[in-house]
Amino acid sequence: MLESGHFFANIMSMSRKPIYKIIFLNQGKVYEIYARNVHQGDMYSFIEVEKLIFGEKTTVVVDPSEETLKSEFNNVTRTYIPLHSIIRIDEVDKQGPSKVTDAGSRAGKVMQFPFYTPGGTEDTK
C-alpha cells in the first residue's frame, strides 16, 4: 500500500512536463538551450526542438549570453539541429541558464560526433 505522500508525489511527477537540456555545436560555439519538446523530426538526420525556454526577465542580474540566445531564437517556434552537431540531450528537473561558449574554451572536452557522408571522395590509384 502506498503512503499518501508518495501517491501525491507520483501524481505530481506524472503531470509535470519534462524539460530538456540540449547541448550542441554550431559554428565553433557550444550552445546550451532548454526546451519542452525534443524529438526525431521528419527531416532525416535532424533533431526537432520545440517550445524553447529562457529565463525570466524578473532577475536583476542579466546574462549577456542568454540575452544573445533569446534574440537569436526570437519568434522561433521550432528549430532543427543536425544530428551530428548534438553533443548531449538530458531530461532535467529544472531549467538552468541558457548559454553560448566558445568551443575552444572546452578544448579536449568537446568533439563533434563523426558522421558518414555518402559519395565521399575515394583515392583512385
pLDDT in tens, 73-107: 888 889 999 999 999 999 999 888 888 888 776 55
Cell of 106: 572546452
52/97 Cα distance (integer angstroms) = 12
Which of 112, 119, 54 is closest to 81 using CA atoms?
112
Residue labelled with grid coordinates 572546452? 106
Query: Judging by beta carbons within 10 Å of its beta carbon (0-12, 13-18, 19+), is residue 63 exposed, middle or buried?
Result: middle
C-alpha cell at 99: 548559454
More confident residue, 54 or 4: 54
Name the phi and psi angles at 64, rounded to 5.
Answer: -60, -30
Rank 1-5, 54-58, 92-96, 108-112 by mean pLDDT and report only the highest. Answer: 92-96
Residues 99, 77, 19: CA angle, nearest 5 degrees? 55
Does an H or E element contain 67, and which? helix 64-72
pLDDT of residue 15: 60
Q: How far is CA 94 from CA 16, 37, 64, 86, in A?
A: 11, 14, 21, 21
Is 121 a residue whose pLDDT tops 90?
no
Residue 124 has pLDDT above 60, yes or no: no
Q: Look-up: residue for cell 519542452? A: 36
**Helices and strands: H and E segment counts in the chain:** 2, 6
Q: What is the pTM of this model?
A: 0.68
Q: Specify the higher pLDDT residue, 64 or 3.
A: 64
CATH fold, domain 17-103, is: SH3 type barrels. (2.30.30)
